[in-house]
């Protein structure tokens, strides 16, 4: 299986093609200009070489992209729609923005996952140091001072060991759970993991926002490429990639089949928040729905960024608090026997 072109590569290709078409350069010449002057290794370079040959033989751009096997199916279908309606230039610029924003969102979510994992790993390291270096030293000091710790002192030391071991096990399990979840997510078990995470309200809200964002951006592009509303919705529906949102979209599609407009149907099904939903209705009636959808996409991106930041801002003090409280309890349990020994000496 060929390696897929990453989001940044798709965005760069689409933007370059859009600029060339805008300048009046033909598709075949544009691909030739984008193609490297000498052989280079790389997914995009190899794809451009193949596309140049196909286009010279009379193949259209979308087919040439599809036959390389490196472009996302969505990008190919959008280019095909742009060719059919004569709006290829607009589609290319939309695709560039879409994949650029997808890359940024993916990096934000990756950061939101990596940060808490890093914090947990740091806690694990500190707990290991406590168990292997700090606690044994204190125990040795007490043995040397008293010859044999009193039973109460032993209970304090035992409590410290137990607390550190329990916390260590919990943190290792957390890291393992996150890594297993990521592995399952990347290997076709996304729906099961999402269903589990949706039990956490803040995660459910983020999943819904991201799904609606993907759908709205796709729907806007299909409308911009000249598709009818019902066709644009059906083509964009798979982009949501979330069962709860897809179910709403299917109900909206049925309403549209009965003669209702998209804006009214989306409002009645509460696809968007109240204020956002109401924005679409006057836009649709005035024939200005595309600009309203673009505004909605921007607002949904801001909402998703806020949700990601909220998750990070919740986890950071929580994990820091667990670390500080644990260390404080352990140190207190270590110092209590020492205080007792000093009192007995005094």
Tens digits of per-residue pLDDT, 53-77?
Answer: 888 888 889 899 988 888 988 888 8
| Interacting residues of 159 by C-beta distance below 8 A, sequence separation 6+ | 333
| pLDDT at residue 149 in the model | 47
Tens digits of per-residue pLDDT, 156-180?
Answer: 677 777 888 888 888 888 888 888 8
Q: Which residue in 229, 221, 269 sits closest to 246, CA to CA?
A: 269
Between residues 269 and 108, which one has the greater pLDDT?
269
**pLDDT above 80 for 139:** no
Place of tokens 């209705």: 281
Q: Are 240 and 246 in contact (CB under 8 A)?
A: yes
Query: Of 18-32, 127-141, 220-234, which has the strongest mean pLDDT?
Result: 18-32
> How confident is residue 144, by pLDDT bands cut at 50, 70 and 90?
low
> How confident is residue 145, by pLDDT bands cut at 50, 70 and 90?
low
Q: Are 58 and 133 in contact (CB under 8 A)?
A: no
**pLDDT above 80 for 150:** no
| Interacting residues of 97 by C-beta distance below 8 A, sequence separation 6+ | 11
Enter the pTM of the model.
0.73
H helices then E strands: how many in the chain?
Answer: 15, 0
**pLDDT above 80 for 28:** yes
Q: If you average pLDDT over every residue of the chain, what do you get?
A: 81
Query: Stretch 180-188: mean pLDDT, rounded?
Result: 80
Give the three-class secondary structure for 311.
helix
């Amino acid at each position: 299986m060929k390696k897929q072109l990453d989001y940044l590569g798709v965005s760069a290709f689409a933007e370059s093609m859009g600029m060339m078409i805008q300048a009046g350069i033909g598709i075949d010449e544009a691909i030739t200009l984008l193609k490297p002057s000498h052989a280079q290794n790389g997914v995009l370079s190899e794809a451009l070489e193949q596309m140049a040959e196909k286009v010279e033989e009379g193949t259209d751009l979308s087919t040439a992209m599809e036959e390389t096997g490196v472009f996302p199916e969505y990008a190919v279908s959008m280019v095909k729609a742009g060719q059919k309606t004569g709006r290829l230039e607009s589609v290319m610029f939309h695709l560039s923005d879409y994949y650029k924003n997808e890359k940024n969102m993916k990096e934000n979510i990756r950061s939101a996952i990596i940060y808490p994992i890093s914090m947990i790993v740091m806690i694990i390291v500190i707990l290991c140091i406590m168990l292997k270096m700090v606690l044994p030293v204190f125990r040795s000091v007490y043995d040397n001072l008293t010859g044999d710790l009193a039973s109460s002192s032993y209970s304090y030391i035992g409590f410290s060991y137990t607390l550190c071991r329990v916390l260590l096990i919990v943190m290792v399990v957390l890291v393992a759970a996150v890594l297993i979840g990521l592995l399952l997510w990347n290997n076709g078990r996304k729906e099961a993991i999402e269903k589990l995470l949706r039990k956490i309200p803040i995660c459910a809200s983020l999943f819904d926002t991201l799904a609606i964002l993907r759908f709205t951006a796709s729907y806007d592009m299909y409308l911009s490429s000249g598709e009818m509303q019902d066709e644009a919705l059906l083509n964009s529906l798979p982009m949501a990639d979330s069962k709860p949102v897809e179910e709403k979209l299917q109900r909206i599609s049925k309403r549209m089949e009965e003669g209702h407009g998209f804006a009214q149907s989306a409002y009645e099904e509460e696809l968007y928040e109240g204020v956002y939903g109401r924005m679409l209705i006057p836009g649709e009636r005035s024939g200005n729905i595309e600009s309203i959808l673009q505004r909605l996409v921007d607002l949904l991106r801001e909402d998703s960024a806020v949700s990601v930041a909220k998750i990070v801002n919740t986890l950071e003090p929580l994990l820091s608090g667990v670390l500080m409280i644990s260390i404080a309890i352990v140190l207190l349990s270590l110092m209590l026997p020492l205080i007792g020994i000093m009192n007995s000496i005094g």
